[in-house]
Structure 1
Amino acid sequence: MENPVLGYHETMDTHEMINFKTVCLMKSKLMQGICFDNDLKALMQKDVQQSVQALQELKGLYEQARTDY
């Protein structure tokens, strides 16, 4: 069986999700630096960790994207 590849629209959707998750990650990291509440900092740190994990999973999907356009 062939290796599965993403269709054109799936490739674009994956790209948009990667961009969105990257912006969310940068915002959480930036807000940690200016936040004084330790509980909120811990919550943002958890968000950063989850975002990094999600980006790694999305990267795996993005590697299946078609590049023969």
Structure 2
Amino acid sequence: MTRRALAALGAVVLAATLAGCAATGAEQGASTDALRQESITLQDGRTVQCVVYSAPYKGGLSCDWVGAR
């Protein structure tokens, strides 16, 4: 795939991931400990920076695919 196609795919995935999210601040048990940053090394040797949200019974992953090096 070309870089442009990968960037478009990443944008679609990010938009789908964020669809329906609302920052209400009313989540029970939410804390800053639930967020962490990770560097993920892909099989082709590139590194992607990601933010991981993990809490009991929910979670998510957001990565900077455009900035993968």
* TM-score for the superposition, normalised by structure 1: 0.33
Question: Larger % of helix: which?
Answer: 1
Whose Rg is larger? Answer: 1
RCO greater where, 1 or 2, for CA within 8 Å and sep 6 or more? 1
* TM-score for the superposition, normalised by structure 2: 0.33
Question: Larger % of strand: which?
Answer: 2
